[in-house]
Structures are given as structure tokens and as C-alpha cells.
Amino acid sequence: MPKKTSSDVGSLAASILRDPNASQVQKQLAGSALSQTGTNKDTGSAMETKAAKVLDSSKYSDVTKKLAGSVLSQSKK
């Protein structure tokens, strides 16, 4: 059974989508996480790859990595 985005990550994702200074990567991850709030949708393979790259890189913030972790936790793998 697919996991759902927690309410705290959902709130974080919503605030990032409203933030004009958020990066494109943050907005993509936030959109993916938010789309899985309260649903049984799985993360797509392209977004899984992007999230994994974020987690493997030292250049991304803790906020971005939190979103990436949430997105990856909802993958089928």
C-alpha cells in the first residue's frame, strides 16, 4: 500500500509552492509531495531519480532534502 505525505510535509510543500524565492527543484519536489497528500499515488520514476540526486548532493538545503526524502518514501521500490 502506498504511503501518504504527512500533514507537516504537506504544509511545508504548500508554503514552498507559494514562495516566489523557492528554487525550481524545491517546487517540483513540493508539487510531487503535495499531490500525494491524502491519496494513494506513487512517485513517478523521473521524480524518484531527481529526489535521489538531491539526497546524494551536498548543495541542497535541509528543506529540499526533507521534501526529497518524502517523495522517495512514496515510491513503489
38 located within any domain: yes
List pLDDT tens digits, range 9-26.
889 999 999 999 999 999
List pLDDT tens digits, range 29-66.
999 988 877 666 777 889 999 999 999 999 999 999 99
1 located within any domain: no
50 located within any domain: yes
- Residue 5 grid cell: 505525505
- Residue 9 grid cell: 510535509
- Residue 2 grid cell: 502506498
Compute how many other C-beta atoms are within 10 angstroms of the C-beta atom of residue 3.
13
2 located within any domain: no
17 located within any domain: yes
Domain membership of residue 63 as a residue range: 7-73
Closest CA to 47 of 63, 25, 62: 25
CB 41 within 8 A of CB 32: no
pTM of the model: 0.84
Question: What phi, psi does 27 have (nearest 5°)?
Answer: -65, -35
Domains identified in the chain, total number: 1
